């Protein structure tokens, strides 16, 4: 009798394992407010260009998902832990990040970075990064963890460290600090700058500086933790290919 119970128990465990594999739980999608790429809309839904692309991919791949909003500085720490079936859309790929996370194929190709300054900052609206960052005493603020690319990294590395201020504020917060005169400029993607330019409250006394020497075309990916099953990553990538992204 005890042997029969043991066999039944093993069969039950096997059935549970099979069902669990066949019907995994939803994919947790971590995001933070970064319009126009991903943000919480007025109706509580998740909106934005990258968010909408991600929804389309997962819906067409028949992968259930649940959005979770957390501060940007926490997302990479959360995804570095292997206890969750979790991803986050819209990240740049770096060799350092590839050590700790899985990446999908690219889903979006962005426009070049631009500088945003006060309107009275004496720089023409079309110039080069070399000229801007060679201005004596120029104070730059940008977000912790921001990927600027090899070209700008090289230029910024030559600026005295006391002129570079790294903060955890989102883009709107940085713009307010520039308006208040705390810093001279910040770096945004062209998409973000255009978005905020259309927001009169946030773009008072500011201007966009296009840097003709800064390369564009940086690609964004869905970044996932190592716990996401290979079969899920394969379905995501197959759908990205089918949709011919970016």
Q: Please, what is the average pLDDT of the chain?
A: 90
What pLDDT does 86 receive?
96
User: pLDDT digit string (tens) for 106-133?
Assistant: 999 999 999 999 999 999 999 999 999 9
CA-to-CA distance for 242 and 105, rounded, in angstroms?
12
Asked if residue 39 has pLDDT above 80, the reply is yes
Structure tokens at 49: 């260009």
Is 177 buried (19+), middle (13-18) or exposed (0-12) by CB count in 10 A? middle
**CA 219 to centroid of chain Cα atoms:** 11
């Amino acid at each position: 009798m005890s042997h029969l119970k043991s066999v039944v128990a093993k069969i039950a465990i096997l059935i549970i394992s099979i069902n669990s594999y066949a019907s995994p739980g939803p994919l947790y999608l971590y995001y933070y407010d970064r319009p126009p790429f991903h943000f919480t809309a007025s109706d509580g839904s998740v909106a934005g260009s990258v968010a909408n692309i991600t929804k389309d991919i997962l819906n067409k791949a028949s992968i259930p998902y649940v959005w979770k909003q957390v501060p940007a500085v926490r997302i990479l720490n959360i995804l570095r832990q292997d206890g969750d079936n979790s991803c986050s859309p819209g990240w740049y790929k770096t060799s350092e990040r590839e050590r700790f996370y899985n990446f999908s194929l690219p889903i979006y190709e962005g426009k070049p970075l631009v500088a945003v300054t006060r309107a009275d900052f004496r720089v023409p609206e079309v110039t080069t990064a070399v000229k801007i960052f060679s201005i004596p005493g120029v104070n730059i603020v940008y977000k912790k963890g921001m990927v600027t690319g090899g070209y700008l990294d090289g230029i910024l590395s030559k600026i005295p460290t006391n002129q570079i201020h790294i903060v955890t504020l989102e883009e709107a917060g940085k713009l307010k600090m520039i308006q208040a005169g705390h810093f001279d400029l910040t770096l945004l993607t062209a998409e973000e700058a255009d978005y905020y330019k259309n927001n009169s409250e946030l773009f008072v006394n500011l201007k966009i500086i296009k840097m003709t020497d800064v390369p564009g075309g940086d690609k964004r990916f869905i970044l996932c933790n190592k716990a996401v099953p290979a079969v899920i990553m394969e379905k995501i990538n197959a759908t990205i290919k089918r949709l011919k992204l970016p």
